[in-house]
Amino acid sequence: MSYQEGPLINWSTYAQSRATLGGDFVRILGYFREDGVKSVEAIETAMREASAARLVLPAHTLKSEALQFGAEQLGMLAEKIEMTARHCVEIQESPDELLQDIVGLRELFRVSLAALEKEANPLVERRTFGRRPPMAGAAMGAQRTFGRS
């Protein structure tokens, strides 16, 4: 299965991770943001240098962290990069075949992170079993005023 065939975010995995990490979730998501930026930069640099060996570790790190949060497409793409790079190291070839995938990696990371951070925002309604719960008051025409009497 191609990484593009999976969901951008697996919301069940996301919810499970959020429940497991509890109050640390947002902080650890911030670490993912920081580590992810570094991993993407390291992957791009390794590709510019045609170094399959230098692709492996940042791709592995990005894969693991992305999948922990449910960023499925990103995790699957990072896994493809990691496995292909490992193979290239074994057969001592340049990772040229990864160029197109790596060109799209930064944007996929950006879109995935934006979706995760939007969902982590305390002002966003939480997903329930992959679907958003109905808006209770809004459906009945209720108006809310915050901080006003």
Mean pLDDT of 97-111: 97
Is the model's pLDDT at 71 over the cut of 50? yes
CA–CA distance, 103 with 3 (Å, rounded to integer)? 15
Whether the model pTM is above 0.75: yes
CA–CA distance, 10 with 58 (Å, rounded to integer)? 22
Per-residue pLDDT tens over the stretch 27-38 = 999 999 999 999
Mean pLDDT of 96-115: 97
What single DSSP character describes residue 133? Answer: P
Per-residue pLDDT tens over the stretch 9-21 = 999 999 999 999 9
Mean pLDDT of 79-105: 97
Coil, strand, or helix at residue 128?
Answer: strand
Which percentage of the chain shows pLDDT scores above 70?
Answer: 81
User: CB–CB of 103/74 below 8 Å?
Assistant: no
The domains of the chain, with CATH numbers, are 7-120 (1.20.120)
Q: Residue 116, class by beta-carbon neighbours within 10 Å (0-12 exposed, 13-18 middle, 19+ buried)?
A: buried
- CB burial of 28-55 (b: ≥16 within 10 Å; e: otherwise) equals ebeebeeebeebbebbbebbeeebbebb
Residue 98: pLDDT band with limits 50, 70, 90 = very high
